[in-house]
Amino acid sequence: MILQRVRMFEDFSPGNDPHGERHFGCFVYGDKTVFWKIDAHDPTCKWGSPGPPTRG
């Protein structure tokens, strides 16, 4: 259920996503707050991604 919530997360705003990267979020699940972050890299995993990840 938590992974599904991360996959479907769309509650991005200037307050929690000031740079428009859409790679971090949090939500409450039961009595816990779940924080998540996804790092995207170039195909060689040497540098950061040239843009935010896209949903595919």
pLDDT tens-digit series, residues 14-53: 877 878 888 888 889 999 999 988 877 777 878 777 666 5
> Are the CB atoms for 23 and 53 separated by under 8 Å?
yes
pTM over 0.85: no
- Does residue 13 surpass a pLDDT of 70? yes
> What's the half-sphere exposure (Cβ side, CA atoms, 13 Å) at 18?
1
- Residue 10 Cα distances to 37, 42, 44, 46, 47, angstroms: 14, 24, 28, 28, 26
pLDDT at residue 23 in the model: 83
Q: Say how far residue 23 (Cα) sits from the centre of its chain.
A: 3
Radius of gyration of the chain (CA): 13
pLDDT at residue 30 in the model: 96
- Does residue 56 surpass a pLDDT of 60? no
d(CA 40, CA 52): 8
Annotated domain spans of the chain: 1-56
pLDDT at residue 34 in the model: 92
